Amino acid sequence: MNSNQTVGQIVAEDFRKAAIFKHYGIDFCCGGGRTLVESCQSKGVDPQEVAAALEELEQSAFASETEYNEWSLSFLIDYIVNKYHHYIQRSANPITEFAVKVARVHGQRHPEVIEVLQSWNELREELLQHLQKEEQILFPYIKTLENKTEWQQPGFGTIENPLAVMESEHENAGALMARIAELTDQYQAPEGACTTYRVLFSMLKEFEEKLHEHVHLENNILFVKGAELEKEMVGV
């Protein structure tokens, strides 16, 4: 690890380190382009303390659980779709149903759950459209790059154009998720909350965790390697 590495690159090399960044409130997915020092300064955290925790983990006897960097891009894409895209599609309606019920029953006493529902509805619609764009446009193009020997320019120009759109949408999704986390006091249900209330918060917490993993794999590994692969094909 060196001082010029971004937090996204650090996690890309060893996904176990994501847990340390999460502990300190450091965004390694949408904010993965910042260096360790920049990320720590934005959160008011001592960079040396975080670096020491990362170093201690690095010296542990256990290797990174999953070597995403060693996978082919086609395999990584299939993994992302099967694990994360399908999860979002499966979770969208159940979370919505719980959020609607909690807002209806508890909204008068806890008005924040009404805003949770509004933010969730916006996030859900944006993500479902986002997944379609990735699966129909970007992902097939990256697979084509990996499997072809001759480059043909796509209708969208170069890969940087859809990547810019996808990364912007990731940032917006991250902001909406952060707002939900803030409204729910980091998914802590109030004292005496009913089972539906608690289950909703548990579902939202899990959704945030998986979204962070999902965006990290795309922003910091798949998109970076896809752009590099296109440059190799074009000969730039």
Each residue's pLDDT tens digit, 49-79? 888 888 877 776 454 546 788 899 999 999 9
Residue 55: partners with Cβ closer than 8 Å, 6 or more residues away: 1
91 and 143 fall within a common domain: yes
- pLDDT over 70 for what percent of the chain? 94
Q: What is the chain's percent helix, strand, coil content, to nearest 5? A: 75, 0, 25
Same domain flag for 53 and 119: no
As a whole number, the mean pLDDT across the chain is: 89
Residue 168 resides in a domain = yes
Residues 47 and 98 in one domain: no
Q: Is residue 120 domain-shared with residue 213, that is, in the same domain?
A: yes
Residue 39 shares a structural domain with residue 84: no
Q: Do residues 116 and 154 share a domain?
A: yes
The structural domain count of the chain equals: 2
Q: Are residues 14 and 114 in the same domain?
A: no
- What confidence tens digit (pLDDT) does each residue in 106-143 have? 999 999 999 999 999 999 999 999 999 999 999 999 99
Is residue 75 domain-shared with residue 54, that is, in the same domain? Answer: no
Q: Which domain holds residue 50?
A: 7-58
Tell whether 39 is covered by a domain: yes
Instruction: Provide the whole-model pTM.
Output: 0.78
Residues sharing a CB contact under 8 Å with residue 30, sequence separation 6 or more, in sequence order: 170, 171, 173, 174, 175, 215, 219
In this predicted model, what pLDDT tens digit does every residue of 180-213 receive, in sequence order? Answer: 999 999 999 999 889 999 999 999 999 999 999 9
Predicted confidence (pLDDT) per residue in 8-43, tens digit: 888 877 777 877 888 888 888 776 688 988 988 888
- Residue at 114 is within a domain: yes
Looking at the fold, whether 122 and 192 belong to one and the same domain comes out as yes
Task: Determine, yes or no, domain membership for 91.
Answer: yes
Identify whether the C-beta of residue 112 lies closer than 8 Å to the C-beta of residue 200.
no
Whether 43 and 81 share a structural domain? no
Radius of gyration of the chain (CA): 19
What residues are paired with 35 via a beta bridge?
A: 6
Is there a single domain that holds both residue 150 and residue 83? Answer: yes
Q: Could you tell me if residue 21 is inside a domain? A: yes
pLDDT value of position 2: 65
63 part of a folded domain: no
Q: Is the CB of residue 197 less than 8 Å from the CB of residue 189?
A: yes
- Quick check: is 64 in a domain? no
- Whether residues 125 and 217 share a domain: the answer is yes
38 falls within a domain: yes
